[in-house]
């Protein structure tokens, strides 16, 4: 009996030694644990939510379910768009459940609170759906990686070409909260830089159901373009109203942040012709279509929103980095992630910059009228591909302390 034990022990030791000799692998707790935090049942459930969880699981399966010979586990939680609930959950994840990395992350308020917890615990945040560019600028951290898009890339993608084409006078209908304000501020900067002016604006409370009053104000302002610095139901409602009151015939309406599910929620008669910027479109090429087809099977037939595709891409890149670095220690993995190009169905010409911004090509698209759509989900015509470096805020302008000092 003893002998057997001894043999077993030697074998085990030997195996362990060979393994460490070949891979130098070290995983903190013999597994890699990925947490997906998102709004699962509230207003933003469609733009990330359960779809993000599926996307991350799909990435793990595509990766083979194991990294460095150890299992990869996915856990998920609902933050209900509340920063306190989100930060408590994430604190529990890192302090108690040994979660190594957190992705999903939708509402900027939640992401702000959560990234603080993660940075304090030296864990990585893969931000897939938040809009604020703060996480790679003034609130940047060596542990943040911001995928998919941000407000600057949206403003550069949508606003810049319109101002340059001679639409100089702008009016804003802004959601009266941090994300709306940020979007308005960034877009205003882009407008002024390119010789345009802002002739007026209103700040509508979040969840306003009737926008007709604001649409009338926009009409009487004499603006060339009315920019909707809002999202979700607010965007849908304001655009519907703009079309109804004939605003769309007098001026261009630009949706600054339009997620695919919101575009689907609009009657094509209302939305056709609107230009917008997105980090991903499912029907771009064979690669995106192939991925989307597999994703749809797991997501109840729904096509992916950009954050969901982003969550897959970020997870995949993270796992590759763990494999290459031979460890799940956050600093080493982050260094590895920043040294490898990000090239997959989602990200074209992508790389993770020093400040944590994932710079990749953005798409400028136009919503198709019903007559041109082959299926209901055939939403956009791609007008232009914007190179990542033109779309996102340059590193030097971001003011991210740690990234600027490590030249």
Partner 1 sequence: MAEFLGINLFGLFGQLLVGLINGSFYALLALGLAIIFGLLKIINFSQGALYMLGAFAAWMALEYLQLNYWYALFLVPIVVGIFGILLERFLIRPIANEDHLYSLLLTFGIALILQGLFTDWYGSSGLPYAIPEELKGGTRLPFMYLPNYRAWIIVCSLAVCALTWFMIEKTKLGAYLRAGTENPQLMQAFGINVPLIVTLTYGFGVGLAGLAGVLAAPVYSVSPEMGSSILIVVFAIVVIGGMGSIGGAILTGLAMGIVEGLTKYFYPEASNTVIFLVMVLVLLTKPAGLFGKEA
Partner 2 sequence: MNNKTLNFSILALALAAPLVLYPVFLMKVLCFALFACAFNLLLGFVGLLSFGHAIFLGSGAYITGHLMLNYSITPEVGILAGVGASALIGLIYGKLAVKREGIYFAMVTLALAQLMFFFYLQAPFTGGEDGLQGVPRGFLFGLIDLSDNLTMYYFVLAIFIAGFLLIYRTIHSPFGQVLKAIRENEARAISLGYKVNNYKLQAFVISAALAGLAGSTKALVFQLASLNDVHWFMSGEVVLMTLLGGMGTIWGPVLGAGTIVGLQNFLASGPLANYIHVVMGVVFVVCVLAFRQGLVGELQKLVRKNF
- Assigned token pair, 106: 């939708």
Separation in Å, CA 88 to CA 26, 110, 145, 158: 28, 11, 21, 36
Per CB under 8 A, the list member of 50, 232, 261, 268 interacting with partner 2 is 50
* 57 interacts with partner 2 by CB under 8 A: no
Q: Which does 240 bind (CB under 5 to 8 A by kind): partner 2, partner 1, none?
A: partner 1
Are 101 and 318 in contact by the 8 Å Cβ rule? The answer is yes
Q: If binding is defined by CB under 8 A, does position 204 make contact with partner 1?
A: yes
Of the candidates 31, 66, 91, 366, which one interacts with partner 2 according to CB under 8 A? 91
Stretch that binds partner 2, among 11-19, 72-80, 376-384, 387-395 (CB under 8 A): 72-80
259 makes contact with partner 1 (CB under 8 A):
yes
Q: Which does 66 bind (CB under 5 to 8 A by kind): partner 1, partner 2, none?
A: none
- Residue 304 CA to residue 302 CA, distance in Å, equals 6
Binding-residue total with partner 1 (CB under 8 A): 43
CA distances (Å), origin 122, targets 22, 102, 331, 397: 27, 12, 8, 26
The correct pick among 58, 67, 77, 229 for binding partner 2 (CB under 8 A) is 77
Residue choice 33, 57, 89, 302 for contact with partner 2 (CB under 8 A): 89
Q: Which of residues 276-335 bind partner 1 (CB under 8 A)?
A: 302
Distances, alpha carbon 41 to alpha carbons 38, 45, 51, 77, 80, in Å:
9, 5, 11, 11, 7
Q: Which residues of 86-95 are buried (b: 16+ CB within 10 A; e: fewer)?
A: bbbbbbebbe
Question: Binds 396, which of partner 1, partner 2, none (CB < 5 to 8 A, cut-off by type)?
Answer: none
Out of partner 2, partner 1, none, what residue 108 binds, judged by CB under 5 to 8 A for its kind, is partner 2
| Contact call for residue 122 and partner 2 (CB under 8 A) | no
| Binding-site member from 49, 142, 304, 350 for partner 2 (CB under 8 A) | 49
121 sits near partner 2 (criterion: CB under 8 A) = no
Chain positions 215 to 234 lying near partner 1, rule: CB under 8 A, are 216-217, 219-220, 232-233
Say which residues have a Cβ less than 8 Å from residue 3's Cβ, sequence separation at least 6. Answer: none
What minimum distance in Å lies between the beta carbon of 241 and partner 1?
7
Distance, CA of 270 to CA of 219 (rounded, Å):
17
Asked if residue 157 binds partner 2 (CB under 8 A), the reply is no
Based on the shown chain and the rule CB under 8 A, indicate whether residue 95 belongs to the binding site for partner 2.
Answer: yes
Among 212, 384, 387, 401, interactor with partner 1 by CB under 8 A: 212
Q: Residue 41 interacts with partner 1 (CB under 8 A)? A: yes
- Where do contacts with partner 1 occur on this chain (CB under 8 A)? 41-47, 176, 202-205, 207-210, 212-214, 216-217, 219-220, 232-233, 236-237, 240-241, 244-246, 259, 261-262, 264-270, 302
């Amino acid at each position: 009996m003893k002998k057997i034990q001894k043999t077993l022990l030697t074998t085990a030791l030997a195996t362990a030694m060979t393994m460490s000799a070949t891979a130098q692998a070290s995983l903190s707790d013999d597994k890699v644990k990925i947490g997906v935090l998102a709004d699962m049942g509230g207003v933003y459930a469609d733009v990330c939510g359960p779809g993000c969880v599926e996307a991350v699981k799909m990435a793990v399966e595509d990766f083979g379910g194991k990294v460095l010979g150890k299992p990869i586990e996915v856990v998920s939680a609902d933050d209900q768009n509340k920063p306190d609930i989100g930060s408590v959950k994430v604190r529990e994840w890192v302090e108690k459940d040994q979660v190594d990395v957190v992705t999903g992350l939708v509402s900027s308020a939640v992401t702000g609170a959560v990234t603080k917890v993660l940075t304090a615990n030296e864990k990585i945040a893969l931000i897939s759906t938040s809009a604020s560019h703060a996480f790679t600028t003034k609130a940047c951290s060596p542990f943040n990686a911001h995928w998919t898009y941000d407000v600057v890339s949206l403003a550069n993608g949508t606003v810049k070409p319109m101002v340059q084409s001679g639409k100089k006078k702008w009016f804003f209908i802004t959601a009266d909260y941090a994300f709306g304000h940020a979007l308005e501020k960034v877009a205003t900067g882009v407008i002024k830089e390119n010789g345009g002016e802002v002739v007026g604006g209103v700040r509508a409370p979040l969840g306003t159901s009737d926008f007709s009053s604001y649409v009338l104000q926009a009409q009487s302002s004499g603006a060339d373009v009315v920019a909707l610095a809002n999202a979700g139901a607010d965007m849908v409602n304001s655009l519907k109203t703009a079309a109804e009151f004939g605003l769309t015939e007098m001026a261009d309406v630009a949706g600054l942040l339009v997620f695919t599910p919101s575009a689907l929620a609009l009657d094509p008669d209302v939305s056709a012709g609107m230009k917008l910027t997105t980090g991903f479109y499912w029907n771009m090429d064979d690669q995106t279509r192939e991925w989307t087809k597999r994703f749809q099977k797991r997501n109840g037939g729904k096509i992916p929103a950009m954050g969901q595709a982003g969550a897959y891409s970020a997870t995949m890149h993270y796992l590759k980095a763990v494999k290459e670095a031979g460890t799940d220690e956050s600093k080493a993995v982050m260094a590895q992630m920043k040294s490898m190009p990000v090239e997959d169905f989602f990200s074209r010409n992508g790389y993770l910059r020093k400040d944590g911004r994932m710079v990749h090509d953005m798409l400028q698209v136009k919503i198709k009228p019903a007559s041109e759509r082959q299926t209901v989900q055939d939403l956009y015509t791609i007008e232009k591909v914007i190179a990542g470096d033109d779309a996102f805020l340059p590193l030097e302008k971001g003011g991210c302390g740690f990234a600027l000092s490590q030249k």
